Chains A and B, each alone.
Chain A
Amino acid sequence: MFAPFMLHAWLVATMVAIVGGAVGFFVVARRAAFAAHALPLGAFPGAAVASLLGVNELFGLALFSGVGVIAITQLQRGERREVASALWLALALAVGVLLLSLSGAYAQSLYGLLFGEVLGISRAQVLGVALLSALALALLALLARPLLLESLSGDLAAAAFGRARSLEGAFLLIVALSTAMAVPVVGALLVFSLMVGPASGARAYTDRPWRALLLSVLLSLAVVWSALALTYLTDGPVGFFVGALSAVCYVAGRRRSLRAGAGS
């Protein structure tokens, strides 16, 4: 399980889990689950372009995540938020499937991109993920207070920190960065369940935001490490384990808050 060829996978998975747990806390607090789902899927054509051009997938993914942020914030103007996410998601996926079908790089790479692939992670990918993780965490640390305040009270945050739209854009950018880097490992379809599951479970165990954030990161690490171990042992798809374990986190948290609600 800890053989040299798995080393890169463990490194990348750990970074992905830390960033995913931290960003996920804000995704849950800000009700941005759909955007967190649409952004990695929208980055998917980026990977197709990169594989067409023969460059590192991460560049393509990061580029298209950025395009996704712009597209969603633009489409959101005078429109329902979730419609913007839905339309961008569908358009980007359609372009991605066109590129894949024209390039002839079919089934296996498609499956890996959508559902994750833990083997064959290169050293360049590890470095790229480390860079993007550092960037995402730095941005998150910078914006953590206004983001948290805004999810509690939009007016208060606007009074204290200024315009809400630029904050929303910055937040989506953080989500985009952190999902783009996780796509090659966890897969575009299931990155977001890593953000939603652990964070929603953590919320039920403490009322304090920073403690919940920490707990979300720990749960996320537990989910990813277990998923990786199970993948190694069973040879099954890593995305399945991530999706299932995230759902377990949510159900555990839900049961606890229901019981707390009944007890009080």
Chain B
Amino acid sequence: MPLFLASIFAFIAAGILSALPRKRPRAAGLAGAGGAVLGSLLGIASAVKTLASGAGETLHLSWTIPYAAVSFQLEPLSSFFLLLVFAVGLVTAIYGQGYLRHHHPGGAAHTWLFFNIMVASIAVVFAAGNAILFLMAWEIMALSSFFLVILEGEKESTRRAGLIYLVVTQAGTALLLVFFILLGNHAGSFDFSRLASAASLPMPLANALFILALVGFGSKAGFVPLHVWLPEAHPAAPSHVSALMSGIMIKTGIYGLFRALTFLGPPPSWWGWALIAVGFVTSCWAILFASAQRDLKRLLAYSSVENIGIIALALGVALFGESAGLPVLTMLGATAALFHVLNHAAYKTLLFLGAGGVSIAAGTLDLDRLGGLLKKAPWLGAGFLVGALAICGLPPLNGLASEFLLYLGALRAGISQHGFVQQAPLGLAIGSLAICGGLAIASFSKAFGIVFLGTCRGNGSEHWHAPGLAIQAPVVVLGFVCVALGLLAPFVASGIASIVQTHGPFKGALAAFDPAPSLRPLFWLAGANAGALIAIALAVWLRRALLRGRNPGRAPTWDCGYSSPTPRMQYSSSSLVQPIAWLFGAFLRPREKDPQVVGYFPHHAEHATETPDFFLERVFSRVFTSVDGVLSRLRRFQHGRLQAYVFYILVTLVALLLWHLEVVR
């Protein structure tokens, strides 16, 4: 506990310190990043200590705010998430120090203040043991990340992104407020320990609370259709902040769902159905849109939504197993969910940091202006490739391990069950995982291929340069983390399984269940991963050995025998995924501007495609426009005359006083 408190203190103190020297970004960067590194190390030590001992620590101090308490509980589930936030915080802080020298150096003080507050508030969200404290930290997290998103607020698109983010996050918080008030009212306290041990909830209330939690936490996690803020906010924020948001902040929604389920008692089977359905829609919808994006960070943002969908699938499968009395399904589903949280934190942080590296190296994230960056920045490219392979769930990396667990659980339980109602959700889970896997490979072939292979599609590639060590090293290190997690998958999974067993939300038959046999196939997977790595190493060695003493010729990529190939003859980002866009055109609804080609020697012609987000463009903006139309009638009261405003206040106060006196007497 002292380590954790010291870590939070280090973050906040460093944040404030970094905001003081406004005119000196270097000093601000040193203070902010230095404090964040120190705080992260302290926090990692604290989380590791709890995870190693398996024993929880609590701190409970009363507070003058009604129903609130300064209450922290460092138990293994919290510590698992804390370990992630501090690890991602450590990497992004080191990276951010280098990144901010290239991008918005003037905003360094501002950025570090909110960055440190954001990491500290996420940590408090994970460690809070009281609902009021949780909500406060939740709100501080939302606001600090909002201020980071609008760092380049002079751009119209950034302000729009910030507004969308703020609306979604505030709406989610409003639902969570209702959730905790209903729950606290039932339990008579806002302390998590009391909420968890309170008398069982009546079923209608439990169902209502489940829906509130699903939507409230889902808005932060990014369940479709509440995902609309992610593809806007992630490209707008600085890359290390996008990495922090995507790598860990959206996982607070998943943590919240886990925590909420511990309060809600035994789940009826439709909760599992609901989460599997949400996971199916979220993962497939998002990865489809990811494949159609032309901005690298937008693509990554959609891919984050897809991964959140996979986590929701896994959690849904676990809930389904709990309601059906299948401990093996619960165990594998919940373990897969948490393992995927860990894996996604590793490779999505890597990919966003890599995207930041791309924007430093090439000055743009527009896929149709990139190409051939691998030759200029080989280490960045190699790291990005590892992340892209991992996120597609390809061997020999970590992404496969968690998806494998989910496949394993759903298949095993699906075979043992009989009847449509028992088998259908598991089939849906397997099917959506498979669809996502395929589309993810398409999206990331595009992301990696267009950016790093071929030659530059725009102008000015002669000015491209490899980004510095502070930018490339974190990417490469995270690449090694992905490899290591793939090799150590059985051990990591059994560690997570013991957390699920002792501190997860599932009370049913899990306590007496031995997870070891059901996790055993992971050893085969890890062995195969190791074999694949050795094979890759051998192939690289063989290539070198064969080329030794010879002089291999070099030719432009995709030469294809043309006499004079130009970069414009390459695949563009949208032509690469054209078959998919055609196949799924009914969902994607791309806007195309077709060229008019007339005659044998046609004049200048243009072709353009654009894929706006369906829910943002056709659902939310229409709803909000009509709401705006109704509410705009109130604007006649907002005319800017100060005297009238004071008059409104005065009339209200006197009316309230008179009313009170009338009622009291």
- Say whether A associates with B: no
Which positions in A face B, CB cutoff 8 Å? none
**Which residues of B line the A interface, CB within 8 A?**
none
